[in-house]
């Protein structure tokens, strides 16, 4: 706009404005910077009416370039730093879980073996206890039978001895009874006839009565 307004004085007659040309040219020259400043301010204000920078087609190549660089850096970082660390963490946890499962399986196997051994020892103990009880019962029964036989034999011996003693006592008592009977018969006869009978006759009479 400043360049278009400058040639206007050249169209005026040179003779009429010969002396005033310098002043007019100076005045219009002074007005040109003001218009240029206004144009500049208007131009700066008009830049904000352009497209949003990320959607500006003139910046697409640089945006794609930096996108590729950032993506490559992120990819390398993921591949060489983050992914290995995550993989090591996952592998460590998987190994720990596998070890825990193996340890649990080992403990379960050990507990099953211990339980089987306990049940076996319990069965053996029960069988041994039954054998011991049966052996003790048989031994007690044998001892009781032996003791019973010994007691019966002792009782039989004592009964035989008692019967022998009773027989002896009976024989002695019978003998004493015969003597007493002889004495009584001798006394009765003496009291009846006034004289003592012969002892042989008295014994014969008592024996005859005893045999009846």
Residue with tokens 């003001």: 34
Q: Does residue 189 sit within a domain?
A: yes
96: DSSP letter: H
pLDDT band at 179 (very low <50, low <70, confident <90, very high): confident
Beta carbons of 17 and 9 less than 8 angstroms apart = yes
Q: Does residue 173 sit within a domain?
A: yes
18: DSSP letter: T
pLDDT greater than 70 at residue 36: no
Compute the 3-state secondary structure of the chain and give helix, strand, coil in percent, each to the nearest 5.
Answer: 90, 0, 10
Give Cα 204 distance to the centre of its chain.
109
- Distance (Å) of CA 162 to CA 18, 176, 177: 197, 20, 21
Q: Does residue 195 sit within a domain?
A: yes
Q: Does residue 187 sit within a domain?
A: yes
pLDDT tens for each residue of 55-66:
777 788 888 899
pLDDT band at 11 (very low <50, low <70, confident <90, very high): very low
Residue with tokens 């005045």: 27
Look up the domain containing 175 and give its range.
Answer: 163-211
Q: Around Cβ 6, how many Cβ atoms within 10 Å?
A: 13
pLDDT tens for each residue of 64-98:
899 999 999 999 999 999 999 998 999 999 999 99
CA gap 180, 199 in Å, rounded: 13
Domains: count for the chain: 1
């Amino acid at each position: 706009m400043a360049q278009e307004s400058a040639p206007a004085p050249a169209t005026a007659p040179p003779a009429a404005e010969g002396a005033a040309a310098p002043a007019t040219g100076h005045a219009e020259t002074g007005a040109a910077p003001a218009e240029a400043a206004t144009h500049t301010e208007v131009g700066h204000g008009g830049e904000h009416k352009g497209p949003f920078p990320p959607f500006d087609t003139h910046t697409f190549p640089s945006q794609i370039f930096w996108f590729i660089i950032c993506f490559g850096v992120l990819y390398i970082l993921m591949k060489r730093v983050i992914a290995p660390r995550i993989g090591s963490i996952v592998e460590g946890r998987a190994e720990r879980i596998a070890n825990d499962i193996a340890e649990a399986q080992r403990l379960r196997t050990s507990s099953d073996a211990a339980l089987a051994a306990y049940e076996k020892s319990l069965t053996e103990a029960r069988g041994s206890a039954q054998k011991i009880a049966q052996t003790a019962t048989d031994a007690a029964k044998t001892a009781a039978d032996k003791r019973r036989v010994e007691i019966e034999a002792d009782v039989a011996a004592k009964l035989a001895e008692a019967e022998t003693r009773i027989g002896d006592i009976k024989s002695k008592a019978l003998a004493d009874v015969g003597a007493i009977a002889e004495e009584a018969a001798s006394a009765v006869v003496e009291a009846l006839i006034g004289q003592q009978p012969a002892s042989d006759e008295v014994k014969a009479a008592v024996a005859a009565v005893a045999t009846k």
